[in-house]
Amino acid sequence: MTILRGVKGMNDILPDEIGRWHRVEKAFARAASLHGFREVRTPYLEPTPLFVRTIGEATDVVEKEMYSFSHHDEPLTLRPEGTAGAARAFVEHAIHGKEQVSRWYYVGPMFRAERPQRGRYRQFYQAGAEIFGDAGPGCDAEMIEMLVTFLAAIGVPGVEVLVNSLGGADARAKYKAALVTYLEPKKGELSAESQRRLGTNPLRILDSKSPTDQAALDGAPTIHEFLDDADRAHFAALQRHLTALGTPFVVAPKLVRGLDYYTRTLFEIKGAKEKLGAGDTLVGGGRYDGMVEELGGPSVPAIGFAAGLERLLIASELTSEGAVVDAFVAPLGDAAIDHALVLGRDLRAAGVSCEVDARGGSLKSQLRRANSVGARVALVVGDREVAEGVVQVKDLAGHTQESVARATVVSVVTERVRSAVPAASDGRS
């Protein structure tokens, strides 16, 4: 019989790996709540037009990466990102009428039919946040500072922040026209993909990886020449705030991103380039001041970002959370199993996590299992212990053993587990 395999580019996260995921997710939730963000959960499936309207028809995501299907004539798409769904929920529940500023965060799976490779998957997880109702640039700077602090907390080396401003719709339209005028005579030098983009989405040519495209762009106008005074003041203030916060950044005038909804502030964060490859971005974000209105709401400014969790895990130096349980109960012989189960229940009621090996088996094999689940103590109960009303408590790290009265063993073990140094070596948070 052939083994059925999972979908290409969609990975299992096995229990051995989940400890690092939990640590990164906890650090993210902590950073977000310290900054006043509250969690939002939106559906994985959304109506297809939501993404077409917000991300843009002429983007890679909408043109070729969405998992879309029709169910009873309703066009549906597995969300390729979280911003459009968050903005839809914001409008649908008329949140703007309830509070002036909303700070939302989310962690969850996204789906894009990309060519899978290290750091690029078809189901991947994003940790993201959105602020609705604050036109910035103070909150833009604060968001970037939060990310830099979070990345430091999870041990990502070599963090680099790139910022740019795309201006408003007017500036972008003028810039697009100027870029097309500049590139049209050089069309023959451009890659096939960029030649096509010249007619559909010329700004995307700016972040083409092709050396010939980049050579053709040498001397091209930059968006900065087209920003109006308000855009310029916004971008200058963002840089001033970041400097005041001591958050290092680099202005990247050619930075554009793959989604059409951005206005004004745009940023990317890279890090751990030797592990991830220079091309891979850890975090991408920016303003999308027009989206809420585009979705039928009032004019509400917004900014957000998303970080790819798999990429954060490749980049992070965090180790796994160590032990699975604090204590391990090893019954010797059938008669001891009832006692072991009751002892396990009593330990858990006292807050001590424990596994009872109700399969029984030899002491040696049970102790091997106790070590493999990282237990600090093993509690051995055999016929003799039951008869004498005691339990053998084995300290698995210290290799000591003592006989403790059944009546006091729960408090003795609770005390021992609590007073154990939260092992930095096993990376417990």
Report the interface residues with ligand HAM, using CB under 6 A. Answer: 81-83, 112, 114, 119-121, 124, 126, 128, 130, 257-259, 281-286, 288, 304-308, 310-311
Residue with smaller CB distance to ligand HAM, 81 or 385: 81
Residue closer to ligand HAM (CB basis): 156 or 336: 156
DSSP string, 163-191: EEE---HHHHHHHHHHHHHHHGGGGGGS-
Secondary structure of residue 412 in the 3-state scheme:
helix
Give whichever of 49 and 389 is closer to ligand HAM, judged by the CB atom: 49
Question: Which single residue is written with the structure tokens 């408003």?
Answer: 168
What minimum distance in Å lies between the beta carbon of 135 and ligand HAM?
15
CB 117 within 8 A of CB 146: no
Smallest separation (angstroms) from ligand HAM to the CB of 115: 9
Which residue, 151 or 259, has its beta carbon nearer to ligand HAM? 259
What is the nearest approach in angstroms of ligand HAM to the Cβ of residue 214? Answer: 20
Q: Measured from the CB of residue 195, what is the shortest distance to ligand HAM in angstroms?
A: 24
Q: Which is nearer to ligand HAM, 56 or 286 (CB)?
A: 286
Give the residue from 226, 220, 225, 219 showing the smallest Cα distance to 202: 220
Q: Smallest distance from the beta carbon of 257 to ligand HAM, in angstroms?
A: 6
Q: How far is the CB of 233 from ligand HAM (least distance, A)?
A: 22
Residues with Cβ within 8 Å of 151's Cβ and at least 6 positions away in sequence, in order, are 159, 269, 271, 282, 283, 312
- Alpha-carbon distance 140 to 292, whole Å? 18
Instruction: Indicate the residue among 148 and 306 with the shorter CB distance to ligand HAM.
Output: 306
Contact 77, 48 (CB under 8 A): yes
Q: Is the peptide bond before 422 cis (omega within 30 degrees of 0)?
A: no
Q: How far is CA 389 from CA 249, 338, 362, 385, 424, in A?
A: 66, 14, 21, 6, 36
